[in-house]
Structure 1
Amino acid sequence: MPTAIAVTSADMALPAQDERTLPAVVLQDLDRQPLDQSLAAMQTLVDQHGHLIVLCSRAAPAAVARRLHIVRSLLESDRIAVFRPALPPLGLAVLARQLRQLASCDLGPGVLASAGRLLTHYLHAGAVLNSVTRLDHVPVGLRTHAKSWVPGSQFGVIAHPEPRLVRIGPEATLPGPEFGSWMLVARGQLQTDWITTALAPAWNVLGLREAPLPAESARWWGTGRLTEFCTYLPDLSVLYQLVTSVRRHTCHWCGIDVIGDRCVFCCATPPVHENPAPAG
């Protein structure tokens, strides 16, 4: 069985992008179920799939993240990876789907888990907000805070890869991807057409799709009056080429193949070998 890709709520499991996209494992209500139930479910997944990669939003309840780490610790398993990148919820859902696409390929679990860190660099995730007074994930100046009290104000915000914020107006613009990508839009309680009529054309997106707004988005952005968006690479062949073009190495601690400088399963980094002092 291929490596399992898990999310912590059903609305983070986006519909399949193609016929090869594997279904997501949904770890629903982790913070509400008995611990022994969580342990049994995780052990079954590991037994069935060999390895499990869990993507958990930083906006998820603290009890969910705590339960994940407790279960991993009690099972004493280095075959469970908990990945919590600094992405808004919709961006994390997109990343989870990309890993579900790649899980159908001939990639080892360590490479697949490491691919999550690589692919975040190709996501542009943001939102249109009616207020930035409770926005904690993007730096907001005092003047912008003051403008957010003006009735009818809307703000375009990029949270990843580089935080940016503008007040929406005729000349408003945000830096976008320098490569062809698709855009996913999730509408909340804010009515806006700026994303589809201004931002998407400015970014030369190749296509646009819509999805329900994740429940955790309001907590992440500090308001329920928002519309969230994320650009991404949809094609499996492109994703596979990106991942396989990176040099692999074997984790010195758990022995699996990985890419990048950190094993997502055991969290080990390559050992530092100091150069011997010259003979004097």
Structure 2
Amino acid sequence: MALYPKWRADHPERAIQFARGALRTDHVAGIAVDLSPLAFSLLADQLAYLAPYLPAGLVAALADELPRHVLAGAWLKGVSNLSTLPISVGQHIASYSPKSAFLAFCAPTRHVARVRGGRPTPAPPFHPVDPVQMLVSAAGDPEAAAFDSRFLPLVRAVSTRPLPPQPLGARYWGSSRYVEFVAFSAHQEALSHPVRSIRPTTCAWCREPVAAPRCPFCGAANRPPVGRPPSYARAGELPAPAAPLPERARVEPAAPPAADPSTGPNA
């Protein structure tokens, strides 16, 4: 399974098609991921950890499910060159203010909010399950002190790990000055909950368990089950099985009446 950024897909897609043709196999799946570079790296590590324990089709489905359980984005000085996330005309114009600042989120939702001086910092759209750990990568001179004082208290992370700038970070954020972050849950069941939330079906062609309408390996169209399965934190929370229906008393057929020996066939 090959992960590649959806916002820079031309070269990876050609390489994946070449590998499938050279190896003459449909067991090489290309998975487009619409995440920032730091969140992309975390997702790749999580999938690599789960890969030995799950079928390949479920690992491919988790590439869409896991980003819904993290908070990823960046603290930016301007968004005038940001093309990977939707912005408004007002935000574009405000980028030219010398004291402008923005919070741009790419997971679990794509959202950009302006940070105004003297006003409360916009609340993040999602908070991972406690305890929360955070990875932070700063590039250029993005006023990291303002990020530390205004945004980190909202996340309430138990630990923050600084990392070097990620490859393609400036291209994704449209700026060489940013603080990229990704917050995720360090709970012992943080990875098992997303697995239980997937409702797979068996691919009609390659027999891989898949959750998407089209198999990421062979490309066959499938009809995924409707709805999502319930998630339970512990086995004790599983609902009790339904009581069996009471068995009906079996009614024996009535025996035919005995023939009268005094009457013969010529009587």
Tell me if TM exceeds 0.5. Answer: yes
TM-score relative to the length of structure 2: 0.73
Q: 1:188 is matched with which residue?
A: 139
Query: 5 Å matches for 1:17-28?
Result: none
Report SS of the residue matched to 1:268.
Answer: coil
Rounded Cα–Cα distance in structure 2 between residues aligned with 1:57 and 1:208: 25
Supply the AA of the counterpart residue of 1:110. Answer: G
Q: Structure 2 unaligned runs (5+)?
A: 226-267
Q: 1:92 is matched with which residue?
A: 40
Q: Structure 1 unaligned runs (5+)?
A: 1-52, 274-280
Q: 1:173 is matched with which residue?
A: 122
Alignment match of 2:210 (pick from 248, 253, 258): 258
Give the C-alpha shift of residue 199 in structure 1: 1.9
Q: 1:134 is matched with which residue?
A: 81
Q: Which moved more, 1:60-69 or 1:134-143?
A: 60-69
Give the C-alpha shift of residue 83 in structure 1: 1.1
Q: Which moved more, 1:74-83 or 1:236-245?
A: 236-245
Query: 5 Å matches for 1:1-280?
Result: 53-60=1-8, 62-104=10-52, 106-168=53-115, 169-170=117-118, 171-175=120-124, 176-177=126-127, 179-180=129-130, 181-189=132-140, 190-234=142-186, 237-244=189-196, 246-271=198-223
Rounded Cα–Cα distance in structure 2 between residues aligned with 1:182 and 1:75: 40
Q: Contact (CA 8 Å) 1:164, 1:174: kept in 2 or not? A: no
Quote the sequence identity (%): 28
Rounded Cα–Cα distance in structure 2 between residues aligned with 1:227 and 1:139: 19
The 1:245/1:178 distance shift into structure 2, 3 A limit, reads closer
Q: Contact (CA 8 Å) 1:158, 1:174: kept in 2 or not? A: no
Supply the AA of the counterpart residue of 1:218. Answer: A
Rounded Cα–Cα distance in structure 2 between residues aligned with 1:142 and 1:272: 39
Supply the AA of the counterpart residue of 1:88. Answer: S
Give the C-alpha shift of residue 239 in structure 1: 0.5
List per-residue Cα deviations over 1:93-141 (Å, max 9, x = no partner).
110011122124x211111222211112112211111221111122222
- Cα RMSD (Å): 2.5
Supply the AA of the counterpart residue of 2:12. Answer: V
Rounded Cα–Cα distance in structure 2 between residues aligned with 1:236 and 1:110: 23
Rounded Cα–Cα distance in structure 2 between residues aligned with 1:140 and 1:259: 31
Report SS of the residue matched to 1:80.
Answer: coil
